[in-house]
Structures are given as structure tokens and as C-alpha cells.
Structure 1
Amino acid sequence: MTTKRNVDALLRLLAWMSPAFPIGAFSYSGGLESAVNDRRISSAADLHLWISIVLQRGTLWNDAVLLAEAWRSYEDARALAELGELAQALAGSAERHRETVLLGDAFVEAASAWPHDVFERLPKGATYPVSVGAIAAAHGVDLEDALAAHLHSGVSQFVSAGIRLGIAGQKDGVAILAHLETEIAEIANRASSSTLDDLGSATILADTASMRHEVQGTRLFRS
């Protein structure tokens, strides 16, 4: 016996997590540019390790927990507002705060092409993972699918930034994505049953890189 898949939900998820979705994600590096400038990352192997750490116990993990909580709370405007405030408070630097808020607002605006009353419950500045989680739930997207797609999108953005910064080639980037598939699936599965008690990170170098980027002279990226 086979289960009929919600193809409409899948197509929406593919559109929302596409690099072509107009939210401006390409302009952010999450502190990676600063780490490259400081010679902490200088090769594709370094980039792979950096992304893996951020995925396992950094901002990508926290975003996954926030997305899952928003997915479960999509019908509760008050809960979404409080979650958005928490997500903003967890931003470790001014640039990280601006990134998650602006991406969230841009995502809400672009995703409104698919009308739903969830947009009336989402507050301004809900942040990117909270917006994605709530809107995905409202449109019937499976939680683990939403998490996997969002994490893959975040990893892809780091890879893209690394390629543009000249520390990896396109072939290297594809290899990194292939090698991280299992980790992405594991994190998505773990985050799907997470609670806010699971929030927390241990990526001091990545966090300080984001802070150092604020005072960096020449920059390609906004974070």
C-alpha cells in the first residue's frame, strides 16, 4: 500500500527553498566571509568542517528547533509572536539579527503569493525560521520535509558563499553537499521532535566571526 503524497505542498516547498526565491539569501554569508578573511578557512575541507559544525551545534541547529516550534504553533498568533522575539534574542550579532529578520520579512512577502490566513498571525520581524515553519505548516508541508529542505538551503548558501569567496570550486561544493546529506537528514529527524529546551549552540568561532564581520573593511556579503 502506498500513501499519496501532497504534491501541492511539495511543489511549494521546492519553490520556497529554491535559490531563485526572492528573499536575498545570496547576499549573506553568516560570518563565513570574516572567517575566510582571518584565514580560519582556506580550503574546501575547512569549509566542509565549518558547515558541519554549524549544522550540528550552531545557528542551523537553533534555526531548525525554532522552525519546528513555529510549525507546531502556526495557529497561535501569541505563540508565534513570543517565538519571534526569542529567535531575535538568540541572534549573536547585529548582522545575524538583521539577516534573520530581513530574510523572514522577505520570505513572508514572497510566500504571500500563496494566500492563507497564517499571514495575519505572523508578526513583523518573526525571523526566517519562524516564518518558514509557520507558513509550511499552514500549507500542509510535512515537518521533517520542511526541516530537511530548510537545512539543505542553509548549507547550500554556505557552500555558495565559499565558492564566491574562492576557497572551493563548484565540484568541491557539490561534493560537500553530497557528504552532508546524511547529517542533514539526521538533524532534520532530531529537530522534528525537539522542544525549545533543545536550543543552544557551541560555535564560538563562528559566532565571533559574525561579530568581526561588522567591522571588516572590504566585504562581498552583508553578514
Structure 2
Amino acid sequence: MTDAIGSAGLDLALLAWASPAYPVGAFAYSHGVEWAVESGDITDGESLHAWLTDILTAGSGRNDAILFVAAWQAARRDPAALTDIAELAIALAGASERRLESLQQGAGFLAATRAAWPSPKLEACAAAFGADTVYSVCFAAAVAARGLSLRPALDIYLSTFLSNIVSAAVRLSTIGQTEGQKIIARLSTAIGPLADAVEHATLDDLGGHAFRADLAALHHETQYSRLFRS
């Protein structure tokens, strides 16, 4: 793997996977933010920051982090255990669009990674969970298959997750690009503590109370005018 290690010791594959250029189709999804903007829940940078903080600490962001940890552990020790984790991850999707968002990004990530960064361990993981697997599980399995540590991979995954949503808000003209970067910088201070908190979590710790974000995912399905698929 030394051919893909940067001078600071960070695996360059991990940077590629987190890049906006990686073909997971994240640009097509807003994670319910489009409806939140339409309904007036998000009107500026402060309200977007508050919304994303709730998602990160009490909603899908936190659950994705827990699933990431479980999938990374299973991929290292017993790839067959990924089957149950993947099924649970799909069942946690609270709306059809949320399910579509996660599954299609997972499928895109898995297809690109198997083609560009192939490994027998990744193939063993893919055999366990199949092509229809949520993004967080696919990402974590690829990290483990490449022999990478849980951290900073989890931090990078969460940063990518939030950056994609901020990008959607920018394209909705709710905030500008500079404001978007300020929000990402502010949110980055919450990623480390969350990753610390869930690093030793189990699937029993799944759950949340970001109900307004879940409602946004449901309402977006019938939103009259929209740019995004979720």
C-alpha cells in the first residue's frame, strides 16, 4: 500500500473516496434540506448550522457514524457479519427518498472502489452485503479492507457527509460559498467529539431525535418544485 501513502502517512485512497469527484452521485441529494428551505426552517447560515448540528449529533449523522464503526469492525474480523449490519442500516431509513439517497450513493461508491481500488478483502465484504448497501457501510468496509484505521476515516466520512449537504444549500441559494465554508469549519469542531463518543458504540446505541429532519425527508417526496432527489 506504500504507493498510495502520502508524505504525512495518510492513505491517498481515503482522500480520493472523500473527494467530490468520486462518482457516488451525492450532488443529486439534499438530505431533506430542500424542503427545510421551502418550509422556512432554514433561511440563512445560522439556521443551516443549527439544522446540521442536530443531524450530526442526534440524527442520521450520528447513526451513520455508529453503523460505520460496526461495519469497520465486522469487515476486519468477520465479513459475513456485514449482512445483518447492512440489512439494519437499510431498515433505519425513515423515508423512501432517504433510502434511495443512501443506497444509490453506496452502490456508486462500491462500484467505483471495486474497479479502481480492488482487493480480495473488499470482494469478501461485497459478497456479504451485496450491491444494495448504504453508503456508510460500503465506505467503512472499504476502509477496513484496505487495512486502514477507524480514525481518521470516520472523521473524514462525516466531514464528507456534511459537506455534501452544505453544497446543496449553496446551490439552493440559501447561503453563499464562503458562508458554506464557514459552516463546514464550525461543524468540524463537533465531528471529533462525536467520533470519540461512538468509537466504542454498538448497534444497541442506534437511535435519535432529529424528528424535523425525518419529516423533511417525508415531505420532500411530494414537494411540488425541486432540484434534488431527496
TM-score range, shorter chain: over 0.9
Aligned 8 A contact 2:109 2:138 in 1: yes
Between Structure 1 and Structure 2, the one with more helix by share is 2
Q: Distance in 2 between matches of 1:77 and 1:151?
A: 23
Give per-residue Cα distances to partners, 1:89-110, cap 9 Å, x unaligned.
0000000011111111110001
For residue 181 of structure 1, report the CA deviation from its aligned partner. Answer: 1.6
- Superposition map of 1:108-147 within 5 A: 108-112=110-114, 113-117=116-120, 118-122=122-126, 123-147=130-154
TM-score, with normalisation over the residues of structure 2?
Answer: 0.91
Is 1:33–2:40 an aligned residue pair?
A: no
Letter of the 2:112 counterpart: A
Give per-residue Cα distances to partners, 1:139-189, cap 9 Å, x unaligned.
122102111001000110111111111111111111111111210111122
Letter of the 1:222 counterpart: R
- SS of aligned partner of 1:74: helix
- Superposition map of 1:172-187 within 5 A: 172-187=179-194
Post-superposition, which runs of at least 4 consecutive aligned residues in structure 1 deviate over 3 A? Answer: 5-9
Give the % identical residues: 42
- SS of aligned partner of 1:72: helix
- Superposition map of 1:19-168 within 5 A: 19-75=20-76, 76-112=78-114, 113-117=116-120, 118-122=122-126, 123-168=130-175
In structure 1, the gaps of 5 or more residues are: none
Letter of the 1:104 counterpart: G
Number of aligned residues: 219
Aligned 8 A contact 2:14 2:153 in 1: yes
Q: Distance in 2 between matches of 1:163 and 1:121?
A: 36
- SS of aligned partner of 1:180: helix
Aligned 8 A contact 1:13 1:146 in 2: yes
For residue 120 of structure 1, report the CA deviation from its aligned partner. Answer: 3.5
Q: Distance in 2 between matches of 1:21 and 1:127?
A: 16
Is 1:10–2:18 an aligned residue pair?
A: no
Q: Distance in 2 between matches of 1:125 and 1:216?
A: 26
Q: Distance in 1 between matches of 2:174 and 2:49?
A: 11
TM-score, with normalisation over the residues of structure 1?
Answer: 0.94
